[in-house]
């Protein structure tokens, strides 16, 4: 496995856990596209992605991010992850990807 892939996933997770939009957005390229779900709006470009993530600390607390094994094929990679957090009045929300 390429250690850069692990570093990217870990940095993304640390940014999410800390509510640090700058750290989290550092794993994206300037022309990246982020889409939370297949039905949500696409955030295009680093400024839009950073803008999306800046509100995370307002709506999420007690965030815990864990990722699994990384699968790579050529320049592409994927991993499974689980993120749990408190969201407003909900005791725990779970995101999986």
Q: Which long-range contacts (CB under 8 A, 24 or more apart) does 92-96 make?
A: 93/60
pLDDT in tens, 79-92: 999 998 888 767 66
Please choose, from the candidates 8, 22, 2, the residue with its C-alpha nearest in 3D space to the C-alpha of residue 75: 2
Per-residue pLDDT, 58:
85
Q: Can you give the CATH number for the domain in which 25 is found?
A: 3.10.450.50
Domain containing residue 30 = 3-96
pLDDT in tens, 20-43: 999 999 999 999 999 988 899 999
Is the pLDDT reported for residue 56 higher than 80? yes
Average the pLDDT over 57-78 and give the result: 91
pLDDT in tens, 5-19: 999 999 999 999 999
Per-residue pLDDT, 70:
94
Report the number of distinct structural domains present in the chain. Answer: 1
């Amino acid at each position: 496995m390429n250690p850069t892939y692990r570093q990217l996933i870990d940095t993304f997770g640390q940014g999410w856990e800390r509510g640090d939009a700058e750290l989290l957005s550092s794993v994206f390229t300037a022309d990246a596209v982020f889409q939370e779900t297949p039905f949500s709006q696409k955030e295009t470009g680093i400024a839009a992605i950073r803008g999306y993530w800046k509100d995370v600390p307002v709506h999420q607390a007690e965030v815990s991010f864990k990722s699994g094994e990384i699968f790579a094929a050529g320049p592409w990679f994927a991993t499974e992850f689980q993120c749990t957090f408190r969201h407003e009045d909900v005791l725990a929300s779970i995101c999986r990807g």
